């Protein structure tokens, strides 16, 4: 132990604890019957015990029940033993006294989202809280199981009871068996909770429990999650989808790509937030990805999609009761396809989609929702290219855009979904789709200041840790407000300097953007290639040297606070290195930065629009927008 402590720099106290766990594992292998109780008290899961003893999880679970080895629940003492605690917080143990007192009222368990991390954030907590409100309005006892104490859903006055438990099949089933619920809601905790739908349904049926999964049938949830079955479902509906496939080996990946062609979007299956997702342009990148980026197995194939270059992405949130579909909002992403939906700014209502495209989107949403027999929430991600609408992904659960849609439109989607799951029909709830007169722009909050070694270029893997909303009667003002709220304020002062350096592919677009910035009274500086292109277009811009060429360069101007906005997209390796240093300096010096042409276009439009309207920001309460 002392040697391990010295080599690992871990305190011997913890190494001794690990050693105790290893000793218990050895005892379990020798004699399961004698050591099962102690193993459970030490925190061993049924799954782990099964793995150590060569049995199945079901066998261990049934053995526990036969031996009467069931968890007891203790109330969290929020009063530090000074007087009796009455807060309904519970955690499990394998001790003799149980402090949980189940009632005979009708009750429902909501599975939460677990720890907040990139890709699975506070937005799902919002959905859980609104589901609790819906249950309480119906006179139903509302319980939550969640292992994250730092959320509103885990406040003492939100639910009737709260269980601080891991979101695993075993722990959820233990709570269900103790409380004997009428139903369980799995749609409000994002991917974490919806992943439990199928195994939970099977276990409930196996044990003959009266508890049901409320809302969409888990077999239909599984169809939306299963790539092959969902692809066949869209084919039956004659709804276009990007060519795709999946592979469990490098050879299989090459076969898929030879059929659909480069570029492709590759990602592991069953992940949230686009983790380990990449755009692959050639075979060399594909080989590297398959060998280095992911572990591929028959159980966890790599998903491969044809990447739709220069496409406009769309998000739709809706509620369906099995008969009717209420579309909460159609969101147009400001960044093109290739930026993760969680990192992209988006706008309600869409600003550039044609009437035909909008009608097609609404038609696809309704057909998919009814075809999957959705009861509750539905999120669909689409892409538009050359006026063809492609369906990329369907999530039969709450999405991270639900709070944004609710605040932008005034439609409480999560609450409506909970009522639908309880058996209400949309027509009886008196809520209709709205024709929105104002514009709401969602912008993301990025954590790059906290991570010094990370480049701030956005891509298919999610990086944002929050979001803000700008709302106004016009897009330009709403976008300006959203950037201000995201701590990325756009310059309005005449003579403010904008630095522009973009790759060759973006130069055609940057000309129009630069013209709008000049029209707004801003000055432009840039690197040689970009400046030469702008001068050819008749746009006056000052040339700066590259960082390795000496003074004057952009970093020096940034340090002297002359630069008020940076527009930069990466090019070759040296330019990428320079760009990375420039983007890093933006973060450290608090200078607004933009790394996509679509965001640059929106920003230039917003700056010019604000200038033409006098530069004043109108402040209203959100209720005033809905009172019109």
Q: What is the mean pLDDT of residues 182-190?
A: 95
* 520/540 Cα distance (integer angstroms): 14
Residues 143 and 201 placed together within one structural domain of the fold: yes
Supply the range of the domain harboring residue 607.
487-612
* 501/567 Cα distance (integer angstroms): 6
Residues 181 and 258 placed together within one structural domain of the fold: no
Give the model confidence (pLDDT) of 101-124 as tens digits: 999 999 999 999 988 777 677 888
Residues 300 and 328 placed together within one structural domain of the fold: no
Give the model confidence (pLDDT) of 25-53 as tens digits: 999 999 999 999 999 999 999 999 999 99
DSSP letter (8 states) at residue 618: P
pLDDT for the residue 127: 94
Lowest-pLDDT range, 416-420, 426-430, 459-463, 501-505?
Answer: 459-463
- Domain boundary among the residues 171, 197, 214 is at 214
Token pair 């969409």 is found at 216
- Domain boundary among the residues 252, 279, 306 is at 306
CATH of the domain at 7: 1.10.1030.10
Residues 532 and 568 placed together within one structural domain of the fold: yes
* 110/112 Cα distance (integer angstroms): 6
Residues 601 and 512 placed together within one structural domain of the fold: yes
Residues 20 and 106 placed together within one structural domain of the fold: no
What's the structural domain count of the chain? 5
Give the model confidence (pLDDT) of 53-72 as tens digits: 999 999 999 999 999 999 99
Residues 91 and 46 placed together within one structural domain of the fold: no
CATH of the domain at 581: 3.40.50.1380
Lowest-pLDDT range, 335-344, 387-396, 482-491, 535-544?
Answer: 335-344
- Whether residue 168 is contained in a domain is answered as yes
Residues 34 and 87 placed together within one structural domain of the fold: no
Q: What is the mean pLDDT of residues 380-401?
A: 93
* 181/209 Cα distance (integer angstroms): 9
Residues 524 and 547 placed together within one structural domain of the fold: yes
- Whether residue 148 is contained in a domain is answered as yes
- Whether residue 479 is contained in a domain is answered as no
* 486/492 Cα distance (integer angstroms): 17
* 287/254 Cα distance (integer angstroms): 9
Sheet hosting strand 346-348, strand order edge to edge: 388-395, 375-385, 312-321, 325-336, 346-348, 439-445, 466-472
Residues 343 and 392 placed together within one structural domain of the fold: yes
Buried b (16+ CB within 10 A) or exposed e, 7-16: eeeeeeeebe
Query: What is the pTM for the complete model shown?
Result: 0.90
pLDDT for the residue 288: 85
What residue spans of 138-249 are helical by DSSP H?
Answer: 169-179, 190-194, 197-206, 218-225, 227-237
- Whether residue 174 is contained in a domain is answered as yes
CATH of the domain at 328: 3.30.470.20
- Domain boundary among the residues 306, 324, 346 is at 306
Give the model confidence (pLDDT) of 307-325 as tens digits: 888 889 999 999 999 999 9
pLDDT for the residue 270: 56
Residues 43 and 133 placed together within one structural domain of the fold: no
- Whether residue 124 is contained in a domain is answered as yes
CATH of the domain at 257: 3.30.1490.20
* 351/439 Cα distance (integer angstroms): 9
Residues 137 and 256 placed together within one structural domain of the fold: no
């Amino acid at each position: 132990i002392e040697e391990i402590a010295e080599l690992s720099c871990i305190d011997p106290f913890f190494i001794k604890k690990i050693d105790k766990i290893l000793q218990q594992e050895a005892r379990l292998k020798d004699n399961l019957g004698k050591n099962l109780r102690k193993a459970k008290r030490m925190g061993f899961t049924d799954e782990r015990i099964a793995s150590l003893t060569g049995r199945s999880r079901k066998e261990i679970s049934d053995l526990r029940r036969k031996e009467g080895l069931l968890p007891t629940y203790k109330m969290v003492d929020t009063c530090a033993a000074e007087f009796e605690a009455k807060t309904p917080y519970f955690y499990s143990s394998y001790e003799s006294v149980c402090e949980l007192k189940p009632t005979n009222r009708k009750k429902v368990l909501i599975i939460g989202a677990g720890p907040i991390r990139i890709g699975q954030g506070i937005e799902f907590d919002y959905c859980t809280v609104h589901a609790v409100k819906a249950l309480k309005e119906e006179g139903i006892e509302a319980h939550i199981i969640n292992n994250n104490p730092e959320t509103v859903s885990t406040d003492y006055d939100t639910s009737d009871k709260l269980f601080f438990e891991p979101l695993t099949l075993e722990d959820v089933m233990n709570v269900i068996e103790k409380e004997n619920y009428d139903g369980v809601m799995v749609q409000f905790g994002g991917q974490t909770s919806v992943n439990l739908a199928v195994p939970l349904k099977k276990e409930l049926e196996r044990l003959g429990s009266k508890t049901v999964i409320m809302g969409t049938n888990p077999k239909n949830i599984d169809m939306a999650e299963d790539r092959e079955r969902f692809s066949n479902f869209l084919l039956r509906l004659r709804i276009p989808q990007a060519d795709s496939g999946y592979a469990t080996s490098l050879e299989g990946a090459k076969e898929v790509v030879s059929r659909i062609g480069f570029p492709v979007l590759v990602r592991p299956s069953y992940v949230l937030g686009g983790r380990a997702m990449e755009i692959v342009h050639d075979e060399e990148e594909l080989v590297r990805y398959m060998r280095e980026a992911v572990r591929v197995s028959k159980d966890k194939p790599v998903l491969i999609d044809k990447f739709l270059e220069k496409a406009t992405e769309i998000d739709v949130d809706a509620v369906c009761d099995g008969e009717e579909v209420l579309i909460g909002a159609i969101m147009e992403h400001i960044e093109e396809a290739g930026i993760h939906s969680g990192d992209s700014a988006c706008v309600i209502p869409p600003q550039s989609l044609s009437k035909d495209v909008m009608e097609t989107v609404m038609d696809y949403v309704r057909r998919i929702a009814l075809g999957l027999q959705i009861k509750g929430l539905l999120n669909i991600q689409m892409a538009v290219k050359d006026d063809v609408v492609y369906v990329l992904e369907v999530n039969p659960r709450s999405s991270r855009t639900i709070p944004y849609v609710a605040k932008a439109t005034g439609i409480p989607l999560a609450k409506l979904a909970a009522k639908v799951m309880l058996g209400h029909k949309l027509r009886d709830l008196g809520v209709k789709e709205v024709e929105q007169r104002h514009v709401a722009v969602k912008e993301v909050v990025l954590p790059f200041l906290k991570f010094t070694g990370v480049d701030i270029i956005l891509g298919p893997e999610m990086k944002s840790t929050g979001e803000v909303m700008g709302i106004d009667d016009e897009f330009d003002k709403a976008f300006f407000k959203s950037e201000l709220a995201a701590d990325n304020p756009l310059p309005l002062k005449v003579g403010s300097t904008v630095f522009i350096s973009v790759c060759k592919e973006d130069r055609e677009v940057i000309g129009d953007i630069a013209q709008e910035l000049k029209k707004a009274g801003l000055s432009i500086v840039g690197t040689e290639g970009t400046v030469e292109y702008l001068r050819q277009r008749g746009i006056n811009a000052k040339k700066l040297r590259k960082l390795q060429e000496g003074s004057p360069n952009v970093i020096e101007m940034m340090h002297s606070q002359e630069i008020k906005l940076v527009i930069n997209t990466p090019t070759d390796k040296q330019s990428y290195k320079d760009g990375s240093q420039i983007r890093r300096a933006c973060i450290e010096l608090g200078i607004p930065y933009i790394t996509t042409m679509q965001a640059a276009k929106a920003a230039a439009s917003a700056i010019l629009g604000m200038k033409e309207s006098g530069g004043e920001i109108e402040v209203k309460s959100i209720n005033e927008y809905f009172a019109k």
